[in-house]
A and B are shown apart, each in its own frame.
Chain A
């Protein structure tokens, strides 16, 4: 395998349309087993089938015809992976394991179609009005099945529902974020103008901010205003599509990618900013990879790939953000979201921002970039493994004595909310950007602004 060979395959999207090219990636694996040191699933199950090396061996057996890719055992094994990319950080020969995993899942879908339930849910994503209506109905009805826990800004299952749901992790101790009564994009103006704007940026909110964490969206807007950046929140932006891509639904993610590219292009912004590692990663990498062969959208995807930043990078590297002066007394630790650190390569910037806030005492946890076990829908399909992974994470969090756990990804926030609730010491969960917004707000209110 030559380096040139690797580059060539990276330029095309055929890996997700036919399985052949995946062999080149498989050949890079020496079976050294270094992935075992970091794979969250392996460290929980302690079986070779959990780890990248084992899955690569299975992929080789599929390509040689020894195993059938739609054999239910093979399918189950290939879906027992968080696609957290931890193995890739530890791989001496730089196997792009995420591409192998997603190519195999796409091949499963090509051969046997999507599971009917997945098909129903994913189709809904492509119809934003229907999806939005569904989420709103959910928000209105959630009080029936969940009770409000104002101390944690969370809801937990009520007892009859917990009885049914406990096998799926929906027991009485499960904490979930509340569905917002009104989604973020419904009430935020499409353009938030500022005086003497330095530049114009589009904010891709992602579904989690829109439906579960609108206050994070509000904090992003606050930070932009304080830094004189005009912000555009395109109304017709949709789900980034990563959640369906990891289930092998290449068709839907491509469709969503094209719609999102149109929406952001229309905004006329110079940059695209995200506050979620998975969404940002999609814009930086997956879109251009998936649309590489598309003569119209390929170049658009490449254009925006180079102009997409996590908000922390945007603040520290693109514009020179204004140092906050409002005091926020808190002992804070930071969890590196996998997609933020391992896909977008963002890890120092959020720490830099947190440490620039007066009153914040920063405490690093052991293994801050160990996966929290969320994996998007992995936590729904593999709740027990996910919980064990999170338990190790929370043990590291507890060691720091911090009273707030921050991260840069709403999916991690949800997972931490649940498991800090179970195994933690009442630490608050926050997006790191919320602390910066809080500090700016306190400047205006003379040091004791609206404490959240």
Chain B
């Protein structure tokens, strides 16, 4: 339990309304969107609204030796915001002002609690978009997505969060406020700190303001669905499209299990007699370029024995993406627990990875559907299970171990977009080795020597 005087001090800093200390409130910050994770309620939740407040809270936490867990909307899939060692959850839900949209410089500056979709709504009147689009755009915050370096469906062509962060303000563990980067397109002053903090999962500092890059909204697009009788053909089509030098905005795959489940759930009319389908969207500013790219895709699909269906209208396009968006919820309907991974491989190994996932599911006798962002090699093998079934969960954990080992053996990575958090921390050494772990600790300890910022996540602490 936290001392009454500390509660009082926090209330003085942010006002009593922005301090939550009743048990009923604490329970609601004991989880995030990650399944199969331990729950832990914090000692207290504080909702700051200014950078100065954040600095004062950090100073108090340092004095008292309390851990701090920065939190946006808590929609991450790595257990990244669970207050594992108790202490203060620092929720940015109420620090959510869009400070500026600058259409002439193609930038926007926001507070961390701004929801991604709200930023997109604010820039849409200028014909601009902020491209990173994780599945949770309507709820996830800018601060959270920067901490997690979120990806999304458009990552293949438009990149991920780190490609759009131009500058930020950060409060460090010692209470210092630092600002770096800004509105200039070029900036090589000092280290590239923006890229150090993006994806740092709240373990290095607390982001309090962000300046991001905006781009003109693409004017034309063509969407299509491609059906395959063999999984290999779908995988080879992915490689083939990239090889023909077309970069679609979106290139998604669903395996048979996922297709059947989505069709059962939505009755959209997906064919269930195929092994895999690809959803492809090409877009751009010039109609003839988009048309040429669509034809190039069609050619590759044909060469790989696929059947192509073009979305003829916006309604048909919406239906295609509704099917893709339904993948996770549809799979989630089947079982109480869904273990969703995001192992990622080089694009040329997508076929190998898909086949390996099927083999692993069979080997451990598990229900697994695989879908994901095939175009950037970022797959989501999704295991359907029940956390109450101890014996099955053991098999699930073994299968997950093997999925990661396989991805690494193909030259891939543990996580393409969900982050390490607490869910994948124990695998970290497998990818970056002992020297990598030492470097992680050096960076962490330089900025947060007492491991007060989001402890138990991403950086395995030294053995005592």
Question: Do the two chains belong together in a single complex?
Answer: yes
Within 8 A of A (CB), among B18-75: 20, 22-25, 27-33, 35, 45, 47, 73-75
| Contact string against B for A residues 46-65, beta-carbon threshold 8 Å, 1 for contact and 0 otherwise | 11110001110110010000
Say whether B328 contacts A48, CB under 8 Å: no
Taking a contact as CB atoms under 8 Å apart, the answer to whether A73 and B23 are in contact is yes
By a CB distance below 8 angstroms, the chain A residues around B27 are 54, 57-58, 61, 66-67
Contacting residues, chain A, for B335 (C-beta < 8 A): 1
B138 / chain A contacts, CB cutoff of 8 Å = 34, 37
Q: Known interface pairs A47-B20, A93-B329, A93-B333. Does A30 touch B25 (Cβ–Cβ under 8 Å)?
A: no
Chain A interface, DSSP helix/strand/loop, else mixed: helix
Partner of B73, one of A36, A73, A94: A36
Quote the shortest CB–CB distance from A377 to chain B (angstroms): 22
Indicate if A77 sits at the interface (CB-CB under 8 A).
yes
Q: Are A31 and B73 closer than 8 Å at their CB atoms?
A: no
Does A196 interact with chain B (Cβ within 8 Å)? no
Judge whether A70 is part of the interface by a CB distance below 8 angstroms: no
How distant is A217 from chain B, measured CB to nearest CB, in Å? 40
- In the complex, chain B residues whose CB is within 8 Å of the CB of A58: 24, 27-28
Question: Are A67 and B73 interface neighbours, CB within 8 A?
Answer: no
Interface presence of A33 (CB below 8 A): yes
Assess whether B136 is interfacial by the CB under 8 Å rule. yes
Report the bound CA distance from A93 to B47 in whole Å.
29
Bound CA–CA A27/B308 (angstroms): 39
Nearest neighbor of A35 in chain B, beta-carbon distance: B139
In the assembled complex, the Cα of A30 lies from the Cα of B25 at a distance in Å of 19
Q: Is the CB of A49 within 8 A of B336?
A: no
Whether the Cβ atoms of B24 and A3 lie closer than 8 Å is no
User: A416 vs B139: C-alpha distance in the bound complex, in angstroms?
Assistant: 27
Contact A48 B24 (CB under 8 A): no
Q: Given A46-B47, A46-B94, A92-B332, do A30 and B24 touch, yes or no (CB 8 Å)?
A: no
B25 cross-chain contacts in A, Cβ below 8 A:
47-49, 73, 77
Q: Which residues of chain A come closer than 8 Å to B94, judged between CB atoms? A: 46
Is B96 among interface residues, defined by CB-CB distance under 8 A?
Answer: yes
Q: Which of B32, B47, B93 has the most CB of A within 10 A?
A: B93
Interface presence of A71 (CB below 8 A): yes
**Is B301 interfacial (CB-CB < 8 Å)?**
no
Would you give the shortest CB distance from A297 to chain B, in whole angstroms?
33
Could you say which residues of chain B place their CB within 8 Å of the CB of A30? 33, 35, 332, 338
Q: What B residues does A93 contact at CB under 8 A? A: 329, 332-333
A249 to chain B, nearest CB (A): 23
A184 to B28, CA, bound (A): 46
Residues B329 and A92 in contact, CB atoms below 8 Å apart: yes
B329, A54: Cβ atoms under 8 Å? no
The answer for the CA separation of A30 and B29 in the assembled complex, in Å, is 15
Asked if A32 contacts B24 (CB within 8 A), the reply is: no
Convert B138-181 into 0s and 1s, putting 1 for each residue whose CB lies closer than 8 angstroms to a CB of A: 11000000000000000000000000000000000000000000
- List the B residue with the shortest CB-CB distance to A59: B27
Q: List chain A residues, Cβ under 8 A from B115.
A: 37
A27-B336 contact in complex given A36-B73, A49-B25, C-beta closer than 8 Å: yes
Instruction: Flag if A31 contacts B24 (CB, 8 Å).
Output: no
Find out whether the CB atom of B33 lies under 8 angstroms from the CB atom of A31: yes
Q: Which residue of B lies closest to A55 (CB)?
A: B28
The majority secondary structure among interface residues of chain B is loop
How many residues of chain A get a CB closer than 8 Å to chain B's CBs? Answer: 29
Chain B residues positioned under 8 Å from A49 (CB to CB): 20, 24-25, 28
Most buried by A among B30, B45, B115: B30
Inter-chain contact A48/B33, CB cutoff 8 Å: no
**Bound Cα distance from A177 to B345, whole angstroms:** 64
Q: Are A47 and B332 in contact (CB under 8 A)?
A: no
Cα distance A66–B29 when bound, in Å?
15
Give 1 or 0 for each of B325-344: 1 = CB within 8 Å of chain A CB: 01011001101101000000
CB-defined contacts of A269 to chain B, threshold 8 Å: none
A133 CB, min distance to chain B CBs, angstroms: 41
Q: How far is the CA of A345 from the CA of B32 in the complex (A)?
A: 31
CB-nearest residue of chain A relative to B326?
A: A92
Q: Please, how many angstroms separate the alpha-carbon atoms of A257 and B335 in the complex?
A: 36
B338 surroundings in chain A (CB, below 8 A):
30
Which A residues are CB-close (under 8 A) to B326? 92
Minimal Cβ-Cβ distance residue in B for A46: B93
Contact A74 B93 (CB under 8 A): no
Residues of B within 8 A of A61 (CB): 27
Q: Is the CB of A74 within 8 A of B24?
A: yes
Contact across chains for A57 and B75 when beta carbons are under 8 A apart:
no
Task: Determine the distance from Cα of A8 to Cα of B396 in the docked complex, in whole angstroms.
Answer: 29
Interface residues of A in 1-52 (CB under 8 A from B): 1, 3, 27, 30-34, 36-37, 46-49
| Contact A48/B29 with A1-B336, A73-B24, A93-B332 known, Cβ cut-off 8 Å | yes
Question: CB-defined interface of A402-446 with B at 8 Å, one 1/0 digit per residue?
Answer: 000000000000000000000000000000000000000000000
Query: B423 → chain A, closest Cβ, in Å?
Result: 14
State which of B29, B30, B74, B333 has its C-beta within 8 Å of the C-beta of A33.
Answer: B74
Are A73 and B22 closer than 8 Å at their CB atoms? yes
With A37-B139, A71-B24, A73-B22 as contacts: A31 and B329 at CB distance below 8 Å: no
| In the complex, chain B residues whose CB is within 8 Å of the CB of A27 | 336
Contact at A36–B139, with CB atoms within 8 Å?
yes
A34 nearest in chain B by CB position: B139
Proximity string of chain A (183-209) to chain B, C-beta cutoff 8 Å, 1 when within and 0 when not: 000000000000000000000000000
B75 touches A32 (CB 8 A): yes
Contacts of A1 in B (CB 8 A): 333, 335-336
A54 to B73 alpha-carbon distance, docked (Å): 12
Could you list 8 further interchain pairs (A-B, Cβ under 8 angstroms) beyond the known A30-B332, A31-B31, A73-B24?
A30-B338, A31-B33, A33-B139, A48-B25, A49-B24, A57-B30, A61-B27, A93-B333
Q: Which residues of B contact A (CB under 8 A)?
A: 20, 22-25, 27-33, 35, 45, 47, 73-75, 91, 93-94, 96, 113, 115, 117, 136, 138-139, 326, 328-329, 332-333, 335-336, 338
26 contacts between A and B (CB under 8 A): A1-B333, A1-B336, A30-B33, A31-B31, A31-B33, A32-B33, A32-B75, A32-B136, A33-B33, A37-B115, A48-B28, A48-B74, A53-B28, A55-B28, A57-B27, A57-B28, A57-B30, A67-B23, A67-B27, A73-B25, A74-B24, A77-B24, A77-B25, A92-B326, A92-B328, A93-B333
